[in-house]
């Protein structure tokens, strides 16, 4: 039987009434309507949307969720947006709604050399950390970073994302995994709206204890002394501490949800999919931090969201504790692929930042 266009449209998960697609996007000089956006660029969102469609099933069996929600579970209202703001967000007053701001992740399309080069490094059998620190960064990679900053600057200036040259062919899989990671992070925040009183606080208390142990164990803060002092001072503010605990909690929930969703809970090879998606997401966020600090010269505030390298450092600390292994073993044996990716990417961005300072 042949299917009409109408039938195909009704099969599209993004057409469910709980989902909206929005964004100021132009292609070949013409603004795209939400329907056109969905048709042309909906692909990276569909995997994330299926994660959201699963929520009623998960919630129904979770004893930490309030009885009235478990009896009538629902998919949270979600907007998939092309907004290039660095943060996605979830409202947690009343019925939680989710907005996934995906604009910045499309930068992946402008990083083919960087992605291939990082991939070749992470798959080498032996690679010493010293070698990574001395590795010469190819010029084409610095050029890619520079081109992305210019695209972001034009979006910042005009308020429009131009997708005329966007071609997501090879990077689609990675982009889908990254947006799923971001979506699971937001779902992590959303859980706060459906948990029984006390259950969410219980989780947050555990995360706060991890934050405290991370602060105590100096060696895990691989930052310079001045930076350490600054972070300690920042976290003395109870509001900042609370915000950071929620962000880290959402990160940990996203990590575990991705591990399950990508099959890494049972396969060491598939586990790498989560590590790559997570490391690449952190790197794009760090590129945004560089963009705000060095291009716009308005550094992003750390009052509500920890900077990406801090998120990475706390994640590694917690995960090593959960796995009962040393941080060194976690970096070099377990997270290895993520560790190499982040180490090299941090060097690239540091060099790029320095080049702009001159």
Contacting residues toward Zn ion, per CB under 5 A: 247, 250
According to DSSP, residue 88 is labeled -
In 37-70, which positions are buried (b, 16+ CB within 10 angstroms) versus exposed (e)? bbeebbebbbbbbebbeebeeebeebeebeeebb
- Shortest distance (Å) from residue 294 CB to Zn ion: 24
Question: CA angle at residue 253 from 103 to 223, to 5 degrees?
Answer: 75
3-state secondary structure of 91: strand
Q: Which is nearer to Zn ion, 27 or 243 (CB)?
A: 243
Q: Which is nearer to Zn ion, 174 or 250 (CB)?
A: 250
Report in angstroms the alpha-carbon separations of 237 from 92, 232, 243, 303, 304.
Answer: 22, 9, 10, 9, 11
Q: Which is nearer to Zn ion, 86 or 110 (CB)?
A: 86
- φ/ψ of 101, rounded to 5, equals -90, 110
Q: Which is nearer to Zn ion, 247 or 334 (CB)?
A: 247
Question: CA angle at residue 141 from 124 to 119, to 5 degrees?
Answer: 25
- Shortest distance (Å) from residue 189 CB to Zn ion: 6
Structure tokens at 305: 């969201």
- Shortest distance (Å) from residue 232 CB to Zn ion: 22
- Shortest distance (Å) from residue 308 CB to Zn ion: 12
Q: How many beta carbons lie within 10 A of that of residue 339, not counting itself? A: 21
CA 180 to chain centroid, in Å, comes to 8
Q: Which residue has the tokens 């048709």?
A: 39
- Shortest distance (Å) from residue 243 CB to Zn ion: 9
- Shortest distance (Å) from residue 185 CB to Zn ion: 6
Q: Which is nearer to Zn ion, 249 or 272 (CB)?
A: 249
- Shortest distance (Å) from residue 55 CB to Zn ion: 17
Question: In terms of DSSP H, where are the helices of the chain?
Answer: 5-11, 34-41, 43-53, 55-60, 67-71, 112-122, 129-134, 139-158, 172-190, 199-216, 225-236, 238-261, 268-290, 308-323, 327-329, 336-357
Residues 6+ apart with CB under 8 A from 200: 191, 192
Counting Cβ atoms within 10 Å, is residue 4 exposed (0-12), middle (13-18) or buried (19+)? exposed
Q: Which is nearer to Zn ion, 89 or 160 (CB)?
A: 89
In 178-202, which positions are buried (b, 16+ CB within 10 angstroms) versus exposed (e)? bbbbbbbbbbbbbbbbbbeeebbee
Q: Which is nearer to Zn ion, 144 or 251 (CB)?
A: 251
Q: Which is nearer to Zn ion, 178 or 340 (CB)?
A: 178
- Shortest distance (Å) from residue 304 CB to Zn ion: 8
- Shortest distance (Å) from residue 24 CB to Zn ion: 23
Q: Which is nearer to Zn ion, 179 or 250 (CB)?
A: 250
Q: Rounded to the nearest 10 degrees, what angle do helices 199-216 and 308-323 cross at?
A: 100
């Amino acid at each position: 039987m042949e299917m009409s266009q109408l039938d195909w449209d009704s099969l599209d998960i993004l057409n469910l009434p709980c989902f909206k697609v929005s964004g100021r996007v132009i292609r070949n000089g013409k603004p795209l309507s939400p329907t056109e956006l969905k048709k042309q660029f909906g692909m990276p969102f569909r995997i994330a949307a299926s994660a959201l469609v699963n929520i009623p099933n998960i919630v129904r069996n979770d004893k930490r969720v309030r009885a009235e929600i478990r009896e009538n579970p629902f998919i949270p209202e979600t907007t998939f947006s092309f907004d290039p703001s660095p943060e996605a967000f979830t409202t947690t007053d009343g019925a939680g709604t989710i907005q996934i701001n995906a604009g910045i992740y499309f930068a992946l399309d402008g990083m083919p050399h960087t992605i291939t080069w990082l991939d070749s490094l992470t798959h080498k059998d032996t690679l010493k950390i010293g070698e990574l620190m001395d590795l010469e960064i190819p010029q084409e990679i610095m050029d890619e970073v520079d081109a992305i900053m210019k695209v972001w600057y034009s979006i910042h200036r005009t308020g429009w994302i131009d997708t005329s040259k966007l071609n997501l062919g090879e990077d689609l899989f990675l982009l889908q995994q990254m947006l799923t990671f971001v979506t699971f992070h937001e779902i992590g925040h959303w859980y706060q709206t459906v948990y029984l009183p006390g259950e969410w606080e219980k989780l947050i208390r555990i995360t706060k204890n991890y934050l405290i142990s991370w602060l105590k164990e100096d060696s895990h803060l691989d930052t310079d002394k001045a930076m350490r002092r600054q972070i300690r001072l920042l976290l003395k503010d109870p509001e900042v501490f609370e915000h950071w605990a929620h962000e880290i909690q959402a990160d940990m929930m996203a990590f575990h949800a991705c591990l399950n969703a990508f099959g890494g809970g049972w396969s060491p090879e598939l586990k790498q999919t989560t590590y790559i998606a997570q490391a690449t997401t952190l790197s794009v966020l760090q590129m945004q931090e560089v963009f705000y600090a060095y291009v716009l010269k308005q550094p992003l505030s750390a009052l509500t969201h920890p900077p990406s390298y801090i998120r990475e450092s706390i994640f590694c600390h917690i995960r090593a504790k959960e796995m009962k292994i040393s941080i060194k073993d976690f970096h070099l044996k377990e997270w290895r692929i993520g560790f190499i990716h982040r180490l090299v990417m941090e060097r690239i961005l540091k060099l790029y930042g320095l080049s702009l300072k001159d």
